[in-house]
């Protein structure tokens, strides 16, 4: 596992069920709300500050997701994408990466095709069983509750970059 972590240059995230706990709250006027975890946000920012890339591939379209991505400086965002494998291939080609350079975190069936290609396949703790079956690693934390931070720390520590992040904070 440590060898796979050391090779990672790109972290690809699903949104609902990975960046969030999977709940979408809709008020009486039809306005949607999602809840994002601040600790996951720190993990994403730490990855980017360390020179690694982060991308989002989600099957839903959401202005909230767009705003959250912008706040975290995530530049590669694919929304409304049911064919996540095609989006994965596009990102890989744009960044001139190999599959072994990529970590994909997913939670549901639509995440399986790109996960199967990724060098490091991660399922959140509350992912669907079929997703867990193909995962190299299953997080201890549920989606939207620190799972991204968990894997970000693992990647950065394996690459010797975590201490530098801690140095920014001192």
What is the pLDDT confidence band of residue 170, given thresholds at 50, 70 and 90? Answer: low
Distance, in Å, from the CA atom of 126 to the CA atom of 135, rounded to the nearest integer, reads: 13
Q: What is the dihedral of CA 101, 104, 110, 113, to 10 degrees?
A: 30
Residue with tokens 């706990």: 21
Predicted confidence at residue 167, as pLDDT, reads: 72
The CATH superfamily of 2-169 is HAD superfamily/HAD-like (3.40.50.1000)
Q: What is the pLDDT of residues 109-131, one digit of tens each?
A: 999 999 999 999 999 999 999 99
Q: What is the pLDDT of residues 1-50, one digit of tens each?
A: 889 999 999 999 999 999 999 998 999 998 888 999 999 999 999 999 99
Predicted confidence at residue 168, as pLDDT, reads: 63
Residue with tokens 């991505």: 69
Is residue 142 over pLDDT 70?
yes
Is residue 156 over pLDDT 90?
yes
């Amino acid at each position: 596992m440590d060898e796979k972590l050391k090779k990672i240059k790109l972290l690809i995230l699903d949104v609902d069920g990975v960046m969030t706990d999977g709940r979408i709250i809709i008020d009486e006027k039809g306005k949607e709300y999602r809840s994002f975890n601040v600790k996951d946000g720190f993990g994403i920012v730490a990855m980017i500050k360390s020179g690694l890339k982060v991308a989002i591939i989600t099957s839903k379209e959401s202005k909230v997701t767009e705003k959250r991505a912008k706040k975290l400086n995530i530049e590669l965002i694919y929304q409304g994408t049911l064919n996540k494998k095609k989006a994965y291939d596009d990102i890989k080609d744009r960044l001139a990466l190999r599959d072994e350079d990529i970590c994909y975190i997913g939670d549901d069936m639509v995440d399986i095709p790109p996960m199967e290609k990724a060098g490091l396949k991660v399922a959140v703790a509350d992912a669907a069983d079929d997703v867990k079956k193909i995962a190299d690693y299953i997080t201890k934390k549920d989606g939207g509750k620190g799972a991204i931070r968990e894997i970000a720390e693992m990647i950065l520590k394996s690459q010797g970059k975590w201490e530098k992040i801690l140095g920014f904070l001192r």
